[in-house]
Amino acid sequence: MGGLASAWLLGEAIVIWRQVHQSHKLPVPGQLIGVTALFAVLGLVADSSPAARPVVTLLAWGIDLAGLINAWPAGLSGQVAQAEAAQNAGTGQEGSAGAGQEGSGGPL
């Protein structure tokens, strides 16, 4: 259970760091309770089936890794958005949502 507990602590730390970094405030208790509930469910699954414990622990660390990648200031989600914006700017496309629809003023 040590691996699952340390994954839970890291998950809590990622949530706290991300919230403090973005809004300079501590997270609301609901965010921390949500993370704790997720890891508690994983702990129950690991306790109910000892054969699944390594898979559950790996899943918990994978969740932490996903949260960490999303928490980095220049994380993957930011890079994808920048690449899409650069591509749209390079091709001269701006959002064409609504073009061609009735009443939109766009081409028919």
Burial of 19 (0-12, 13-18, 19+ CB in 10 A): middle
Residue 11 lies in a domain: yes
Domain that holds residue 8: 2-73
Q: Where are the alpha helices (DSSP H) in the chain?
A: 2-23, 29-48, 53-71, 76-91
* pLDDT, tens digit only, all 108 positions of the chain: 689 999 999 999 999 998 898 899 999 998 899 999 999 999 999 999 999 999 999 999 999 998 888 766 655 566 667 777 888 887 766 555 555 555 555 555
Residue 24 lies in a domain: yes
Residue 79 lies in a domain: no
CA distance 60 to 55: 9
Question: According to the model, what pLDDT value does residue 67 have?
Answer: 87
Domain count, the chain: 1
Residue 65 lies in a domain: yes
Question: According to the model, what pLDDT value does residue 45 have?
Answer: 95
Residue 89 lies in a domain: no
User: Angle of helix 53-71 relative to helix 29-48, nearest 10 degrees?
Assistant: 160
Question: According to the model, what pLDDT value does residue 96 have?
Answer: 53
Residue 86 lies in a domain: no
Question: According to the model, what pLDDT value does residue 36 have?
Answer: 94
Residue 43 lies in a domain: yes
Residue 92 lies in a domain: no
